[in-house]
Amino acid sequence: MLILGLFLSIASAGVADDALNVHDRLLHATAWIRTTTQGVGTGWVVDAERRWLITNLHVVGDQDRVEAFFVDEKDGKPISERSYYLENQKKLHEDGRAVRGKVIRRSEASDLALVELEKLPSGIKALPLAENIPGAGQCVYSVGNRHDSDALWLFCTSEIRQVGRLTDGYFWRGKKLSADVPCLIAQSPILPGDSGGPLVNERCEVVGVISGFRQAPQATIAIQASEVRALLGEPKEAKRETADLIRKLSAATGWIRPNATEGRAGCWVVDHERRLVLATATGAGRSDQVDVLFPRADKGEIIAEASAYVDRIALRKDGFLARGVVLSRDPKRDLALIELETIPKDVGELPLGKQEPRVAERIHALSHPSGVELLWLYSSGSVRQTANVELVPATMGENEATKPRTLLLQIPHQAGSSGGPVVNDKGDVVGMLAAREGAQQQLGYAIASAELSAFLEAARPLFDPKTAKEHQLRGRYLMAHGRTETGLVQLAKAVSLEREAGMVRELCDAFHRTGRYDGAKKMAEINADQARIARALAALGEEKEARELATKLIEADRKNAIAWLARGSLGATKESLADLDEAIFLAPEMIEPYWKRAEVHEKLGDEEKALADWTRTIEMDPYSAEPIRRRAAVFLKKNEPKRAIADFERLVELRPTDAQAQRSLALAWLAAGDDAKALPAITAALRWKREIRTEILDDILKHGEALRVRWPDDPLKKLDWYKRALNVVSAASESGLVRLEIDGILEAKDAGEMERRIRVLARDTKN
């Protein structure tokens, strides 16, 4: 214990000494900058021999002359009071502590300015530029002169949160500065007046220039030192060094519901083999199907720019965007467990810590705060306290809210970026960022790992079933949430473990629902379930035998709903409707009779009743795609394209890779007269299935004919449509020959010639 205490005290002293040494260098090399228009900021000496000083362009503005104050001392101690420098300007100039300078270079692209000073105080040493870019989590230091402080040369210790490019830059006096410039995001509490200050590493090498901040808490922008080199005319040399812990965090952290508009919630992989991720219930939203986006990498480094994650089709094709089903929710503790359909092989998992962290223990976190162009922002901090805290307000009817075990953290955090992992120095998860907003920027809440473990244990039967009942539970849940194939496997596993009659019936119904009628018949025979045998015979086309068996069962028991359903499934007549009506009356909770009755109504031409039954089917089974597709088709037939559009959009949401769903959505937009909105759906359909090109070209021609009928005196309407649509087909095509042929079609002088050549292209594509 004594040896450990001695070691810690020595280590702490070493860190403190490093900071003191850095502070001394920064203090004397950094200046308070003022211009004749009272613009103020910070600057630092980059070349003592040439008396060069770096600051921000937005600090000097349009002024050519600046005034730089260097720290003065009294009795060997630095004088930091702002008032001293304002009241003693003449003396400071005489003593060489205040000097004039001229702006000799400017860069709007990087928001930097180079100032040549008339002289330098004796003993001033320049700050060297770092050769390497710091990685997320690396400790950095700065000195600045913020407006709201009575003291100058305020020293700040912080850490890098992320490295990337400042895609959108920022505005100053109507000018856009620093667009697409390499930057650092630091966990640093800066304000106006700090701009232009140096951000240095532990060797006091400048890694960036403090330039601004984003609305996200503790998200300070520093322009990378490579831009200073460019301003000085030196070559750019950058090499990113990322700590193993930060790399591990980034590789296991996702962005849940990337299309959501309410913040950018995170999640993280808790079990790679089972494709399980944990998130907050707030982040998961209300739907039981969600998308999770994982980071891309370039040469082993995370691509952090949000602009790199715009093309969702490419991301889904490449496996970075995965669909998942919410297996379990705990709204009171704000937790959600998600099982993904696929998961990138390079994605890692994070182990749950078994011990609660102590107060003052160091922690690391990753999140996607809004207001910053970069994702996967690293944060560091410490545990301020642990307590049972109300994270979600009590709902109506509850006496009090649940108070789960919670970590109160000294960390930049905001509600829109919940769900990110919080780990200790070992990389063990000690908590997950909660959605509760802190009362101040440096107060964050995290759901403790003990709560996460308890939640996972309660949900275990849904992802790791052991018994027949648990396999049945998992299978039933997955079947009800659109994962029919996986659900069917689980129900079959339950029957293999325990051939209980109820389990056999459920598997029989699952086989029937997925079109495996032979399997349904076999399960019905195991139970000697004559009604289900009759239903299977009807589905297999053995109409006579099915009708005889169903009729016999009905005569024996007129309350046998399955028998009525089996007979009602035969044909499309008024008698079929009567049988299905009886099945629904006897078992209104069954979905299949509504489905079958909707089909019969369609065949008999009663579209309104068909719509009512499709709607009821969708209400009972909201994750089944076919009823939504069928209802949308009826809406189109009734010339109600707007209602069809809503259904097809839901269908695309459920099945984002379904090219025919995208094509149907395009047709609905065309029917609504909005061909501009149809084009993105056409693009998506072609990108998911290039073989659909022939059908798309036919759709384009049919819409051209519709435009001719609608605008007989304006042939340019049709010609313009063909050009826009063909450009979309060309852009979505992977074949250079197809693109070349479309270029030739676009050279046609009239719509008739263009139509003829489109038909040739459609025929060639089909062949």
Q: Strands of 297-361 (E only): list them.
A: 297-298, 301-302, 321-330, 335-340
Band the pLDDT of 291: cuts 50, 70, 90.
Answer: very high
238 pLDDT exceeds 80?
no
567 has pLDDT over 60:
yes
pLDDT score of 38: 61
Cross-strand pairs, 293: 255, 321
pLDDT tens sequence across 414-448: 667 899 999 998 899 999 999 987 766 678 899 99
- SS3 helix, strand, coil % of the chain, rounded to 5? 45, 25, 35
Do the beta carbons of residue 646 and residue 668 sit within 8 Å?
A: no
pLDDT (mean) for 520-526 = 96
Alpha-carbon span 324 to 340, nearest angstrom? 4
Q: What is the CA angle 220-224-225, rounded to 5?
A: 130
- Beta-bridged to residue 277, according to DSSP, are 269, 338
pLDDT of the residue at 8: 33
Residue ranges of domains in the chain, CATH in brackets: 22-232 (2.40.10.120), 244-393+402-456 (2.40.10.120), 529-623 (1.25.40.10)
Q: What is the model's pLDDT at position 752?
A: 86
> Mean of the per-residue pLDDT values for the chain?
90
Axis crossing angle, helix 751-766 with helix 715-732, rounded to the nearest 10? 30
Instruction: Give the lowest-confidence range in 51-60, 210-219, 456-465, 658-667.
Output: 210-219
Residue 319: burial class (beta carbons within 10 Å; 0-12, 13-18, 19+): middle
Digit-coded pLDDT (tens) for 621-669: 999 999 999 999 999 999 999 999 999 999 999 999 999 999 999 999 9
pLDDT value of residue 439:
63
Q: Is the dihedral of CA 586, 588, 593, 597 positive or negative?
A: positive
Separation of alpha carbons 552 and 571, rounded Å:
18
Q: How confident is the model at residue 726 (pLDDT cuts 50, 70, 90)?
A: very high
pLDDT at residue 10 is higher than 50: no
More confident call, 234 vs 406: 406
**Spatial contact of 507 and 492, defined as CB atoms under 8 Å apart:** yes
Q: State the first-to-last Cα distance of the chain, in angstroms, to the nearest integer.
A: 81
Confidence category of residue 167, pLDDT binned at 50, 70, 90? confident
Alpha helices in 398-500 (DSSP H): 449-463, 468-480, 484-497
Q: Is the pLDDT of residue 75 over 80?
A: yes
Mean pLDDT to the nearest integer, 351-372: 91
Question: What are the structure tokens assigned to 621, written together?
Answer: 């089974």
Tokens of 230: 């460019």
Angle between helices 592-603 and 561-568 (to 10 degrees): 30
How far apart CA 632 and CA 645 sit, in angstroms, is: 7
DSSP string, 165-223: EETT-EEETTEEESTTEEEEEE-----TT-TT-EEE-TT--EEEEEEEE-SSTT-EEEE
Tokens read off for 376: 């996967």
Q: Rg of the Cα trace of the chain?
A: 34
Instruction: Write the burial class of residue 660 (CB in 10 Å: 0-12 exposed, 13-18 middle, 19+ buried).
Output: middle
Tokens of 187: 């966990």
For 615-681, give the secondary structure using H, E and C: HHHHHHCCCCHHHHHHHHHHHHHCCCHHHHHHHHHHHHHHCCCCHHHHHHHHHHHHHCCCHHHHHHH
**C-alpha to C-alpha distance for 122 and 1, rounded to whole angstroms:** 49
pLDDT surpasses 70 at 396: no
Beta strands in 673-756 (DSSP E): none
Distance (Å, rounded) from C-alpha 81 to C-alpha 14?
29
> What does the chain come to in residues?
767
pLDDT at 221: 93
Confidence of residue 399 (pLDDT cuts 50, 70, 90): low
In sequence order, the β-bridge partners of residue 377 are 367
* In the predicted structure, residue 237 carries a pLDDT above the cut 70: no
Give the Å distances, CA to CA, from 252 to 4, 138, 276, 277, 552.
33, 20, 11, 9, 60
Q: Nearest CA to 44 among 126, 156, 107, 101?
A: 126
CB 310 within 8 A of CB 251: no
Structure tokens, 146 = 């913020």
Q: What is the DSSP letter of 47?
A: E
Split at pLDDT 50, 70, 90, the class of 487 is: very high
239 falls in which pLDDT band (50, 70, 90)? very low
Q: Which of 128, 252, 132, 229 is nearest to 184 (CA)?
A: 132
User: Which pLDDT value is given to residue 243?
Assistant: 60
DSSP 442: T
Average pLDDT over residues 586-594: 96
Residue 607's SS3 state is: helix
- Measure Cα distances from 491 to 458, 468, 496 in Å: 20, 9, 9
Distance CA 559, CA 540 (A): 24
Signed CA dihedral, 613, 616, 618, 620: sign only: negative
- The pLDDT score that the predictor gives to residue 767 is 66
pLDDT digits (tens, 9 = 90+) for 323-359: 999 999 999 999 999 999 999 998 999 999 999 999 8
Tell me: pLDDT of 7 over 70. Answer: no
At residue 12, the pLDDT reads 38
Q: What is the pLDDT of residue 78?
A: 92
pLDDT of residue 20: 65
Contact by Cβ (8 Å): 472, 494: yes
Residue 403 in this model has a pLDDT that exceeds 50:
yes
Write the pLDDT tens digit of every residue in 293-324: 999 998 888 899 999 999 999 999 999 999 99
Place of tokens 């025929």: 763
What percent of the chain shows pLDDT beyond 70? 94
pLDDT at 15 over 50: no
The candidate with the shortest Cα–Cα distance to 32, out of 50, 62, 59, 61, is 59
Q: At 234, is the pLDDT very low, low, confident or very high (cuts 50, 70, 90)?
A: low
| b/e map 614-638, b = 16+ CB within 10 Å | bebbbebbbbbbebbbbbbbbbbee
Separation between Cα atoms, residue 327 and residue 449, nearest integer Å: 19
From the list 346, 410, 364, 375, the residue with the least C-alpha distance to 245 is 364
Segment holding 65, helix H or strand E: strand 65-70
Residue 13 pLDDT > 60: no
Residues whose CB falls within 8 Å of the CB of residue 310, separated by 6 or more in sequence, listed in order: none
The number of CA neighbours under 13 Å toward the Cβ of 604 is 18
126/106 Cα distance (integer angstroms): 20
Q: Give the residue-averaged pLDDT of 370-387.
A: 90
Q: How confident is the model at residue 9 (pLDDT cuts 50, 70, 90)?
A: very low
pLDDT confidence bin for 195, thresholds 50/70/90: very high
Residues 6 or more apart from 521 whose CB is under 8 A from it?
533, 536, 537, 540
Sign of CA dihedral 635, 636, 639, 645: positive
State the Cα–Cα distance between residues 140 and 218, nearest whole angstrom. Answer: 14
Mean pLDDT of 478-507: 95
Write down the residue that tokens 């047709």 correspond to.
667
Q: List, for residues 25-68, the tens digit of each pLDDT value.
A: 999 999 999 987 667 899 999 999 999 999 999 999 888 899 99
Q: What is the pLDDT of residue 236?
A: 40
For residues 224 and 184, is the Cβ–Cβ distance under 8 A?
yes
Q: How far apart, in Å, are the Cα atoms of 703 and each of 343, 368, 666, 674?
A: 40, 43, 11, 11
Enclosing H/E stretch for 421: strand 421-423
Give the span between the Cα atoms of 368 and 613, in whole angstroms: 43
pTM: 0.79
Which phi and psi angles does 315 have, rounded to 5°? -65, -40
Q: Mean pLDDT, to the nearest integer, of 233-262?
A: 74
